[in-house]
Amino acid sequence: MQKVQNNKAWWLVLPVFLLVAFSALIPLMTVVNYSVQDIFGPGQAFFVGTEWFKEVLTNERLQDSLIRQFIFSGAVLLIQIPLGIGVALMMPKSGIKGSLCLILLAIPLLIPWNVVGTIWQIFARGDIGLFGWGINQLGFDYNYTGDTLDAWLTVLLMDVWHWTPLVALLCYSGLRAIPEAFYQAAEIDRASKWAVFRYIQLPRLKSVLIIAVLLRFMDSFMIYIEPFVLTGGGPGSSTTFLSQTLTTMAIGQFDLGRAAAFSLIYFLIVLLISWLFFTAITHADKEK
């Protein structure tokens, strides 16, 4: 049979190419464009090369904010992943109780970010908020607008409340996918509850846990609205995370060049760490 040379089929890729170009490539290139220029106004742009990048990397405000961001994301993962697994393990396997638990768990996930911030802003107030008032009544001096530690705890608690259900739901689906035969075999082998968790449930949760860790890392690393509404980044700049610093720079100070350079670095950090997580977990148990 004679092979017909016809590359017209490439045109079929065009719509996808255009879509990706307009949704991702062109905006990204705009940012790249800004990051290498100093722009004063229309027609008044000067090429500055890597100057913005150098400036951004040595900026103390950004460095502090980056450190805070790492502490926050680390704490989020350390709390939410084990807690989510625990919740999933305790949930009823099926029936009306199981469905009820699922609905209850899903509620925080359905609430818009800024509403979550508002809810906690009121809930944690010492004068009219049930939570803040209750803590104060118990004899603790709690005030998230004035005390750094209190502010941190409140932001963390809010994030745990908002996002642990996601981890729990993912783990729950992972647990339900384990065939009954494994539990039967474990029962026959007289495995303890811990052994069942360690050798059957945990290994089989691995793939959903990779997703959970990646999602929670990326989301928490880019957190913006909730702490912004709750504490406004304060007291001082103690709960000002990376994206808020970036926003202040780009919109508040209209420092577009520096903000663009910083955006690119931010993007690369998220990408790099996600990749590290993914390779670390997937390679962990490859045979030597």
Partner 1 sequence: MAEIQLKSLAHSYSDMPEGPDDYAIRQLDHVWHKGGAYALLGPSGCGKSTMLNIISGLVQPSEGEVLFDGKRVNELSPRDRNIAQVFQFPVIYDSMTVYDNLAFPLKNNKVPASKIKARVHEIAEVLEIQDKLYKKAKNLTADEKQKVSMGRGLVREDVTAILFDEPLTVIDPQLKWKLRRKLKQIHEQFDITMVYVTHDQLEASTFADKIAVMYGGQIVQFGTPTELFEQPNHTFVGFFIGSPGMNLIEVQRCARGVCFGNTNVSLEPWQVDVLQRTRSTNIKIGIRPEFVEVSSVASDDTFEAEVMDVEDLGTYKIVTVQLDHEKMKVRESEDFAASIGSRVYLSFPKQWLKLYMDEFLVQEQD
Task: Tell me if 197 contacts partner 1 by CB under 8 A.
Answer: no
**Minimum distance, C-beta of residue 90 to partner 1, in the bound complex (Å):** 21
127 or 285, CB closer to partner 1?
285
Query: Do 214 and 278 touch, CB atoms closer than 8 A?
Result: yes
Stretch that binds partner 1, among 89-97, 118-126, 198-206, 214-222 (CB under 8 A): 198-206
Interface with partner 1 (CB under 8 A), residue from 111, 200, 222, 273: 200
Task: Tell me if 94 contacts partner 1 by CB under 8 A.
Answer: no
Stretch that binds partner 1, among 5-13, 78-86, 134-142, 186-194 (CB under 8 A): 186-194
Task: Tell me if 285 contacts partner 1 by CB under 8 A.
Answer: yes
Task: Tell me if 199 contacts partner 1 by CB under 8 A.
Answer: yes
Stretch that binds partner 1, among 46-54, 189-197, 214-222, 269-277 (CB under 8 A): 189-197
186 or 269, CB closer to partner 1?
186
Stretch that binds partner 1, among 25-33, 46-54, 106-114, 187-195 (CB under 8 A): 187-195
128 or 188, CB closer to partner 1?
188
- The count of residues interacting with partner 1 (CB under 8 A) is 17
DSSP the chain: -PPP---GGGGGGHHHHHHHIIIIIHHHHHHHHHHTEEE-STT-EEE-TTHHHHHHHH-HHHHHHHHHHHHHHHHHHHHHHHHHHHHHHHS-SSHHHHHHHHHHHHHHHHS-HHHHHHHHHHHT-TTT-HHHHHHHHTT----TTT-HHHHHHHHHHHHHHHHHHHHHHHHHHHHHTS-HHHHHHHHHTT--HHHHIIIIIHHHHHHHHHHHHHHHHHHHHT--HHHHHHTTT-STTTT--HHHHHHIIIIIS--HHHHHHHHHHHHHHHHHHHHHHHHHHHHTTS--
Task: Tell me if 107 contacts partner 1 by CB under 8 A.
Answer: no
Task: Tell me if 93 contacts partner 1 by CB under 8 A.
Answer: no
Which stretches of the chain bind partner 1, using CB under 8 A?
A: 181-182, 184-185, 187-192, 195, 199-200, 202-203, 285, 287
